[in-house]
Every structure is written in C-alpha cells, then in structure tokens.
Amino acid sequence: MTNEDDWEYGINLPHNPLAVGVARGALRLILRAHGLGELLVTAELLASELVTNAHVHAPGPSCLRVKRSGKWLRLSVWDTSGEPPRLPPPCGPDREEGRGMEIVEELADRWGHYALGTPVPRGKLVWCELGGG
C-alpha cells in the first residue's frame, strides 16, 4: 500500500545548456504544487548542480527525477556517462569551477551514486535527499 502523499515525477532533458533552467522551473512548479515551498531554495540549488554536472560530464541527454517518499524528497539525475561524480581536491576560495558536488555534499542530508549497466540504460544515477515537511 502506498501513501497518497508519496509521488514521483520525471523530466527528460536534452544535452543542452537550457536544460538546467528548464529543470529548475519544473522543480519549482512541482514543489509549490505539493506545498513544499520550504524546500524550494535548497532543492532548486541541488537539482541545478546535479543537472549541470550531467550536462558538463556526459555526452548525451539526462533525466531529472523528483520523488517524495515519507519525509524524504529525493532528487536524482541519470546521465549517459559511466564516470562517478568526484569531490574535487581542496582549492582556494576563488576557484570558479568544480564546486557542484561540494555544494551537494554540504546541502543534502545524504547523497550517493551508482552505475547503470547494460543493456539499457547505460550511464549513472546521482541522487541526493532532503528530509523535511
């Protein structure tokens, strides 16, 4: 039996820099529709970092999934790269690139990734979760 407050959405995204803004806009609509405005700023930043990471490091499309289960909101992004995300080595505060996974590490309650094998879909899934509500 499923809880009627549990739900899941998926947004297929092309390999295009505009996809990041589209993902953020869709996420805003989803969270507002479900009365989760208190998670909006953090969730939007996390989704933006995950989708940007997919665009920069994978050669093909990606998919953002937004799932509410119990007290958890899970954001996950599938992409076509099999390379796992990496936290960059510590650098100076004026570094302009490579901070995405550091932001995810800092803001998410928990996060992880796993490879997806053959036959389909190939690539990886990177996820993070926020508790709340």
- Return the CATH architecture of domain 14-85+99-131: 2-Layer Sandwich (3.30)
Q: Are strands 72-79 and 123-131 parallel, antiparallel or unpaired?
A: antiparallel
Going by C-alpha positions, the residue among 7, 111, 96 that lies closest to residue 50 is: 111
Q: What is the pLDDT of residues 10-62, one digit of tens each?
A: 999 999 999 999 999 999 999 999 999 999 999 999 999 999 999 999 999 99
Q: What is the pLDDT of residue 120?
A: 59
Domain ranges of the chain: 14-85+99-131
pLDDT tens, residue by residue, 66-77: 999 999 999 999
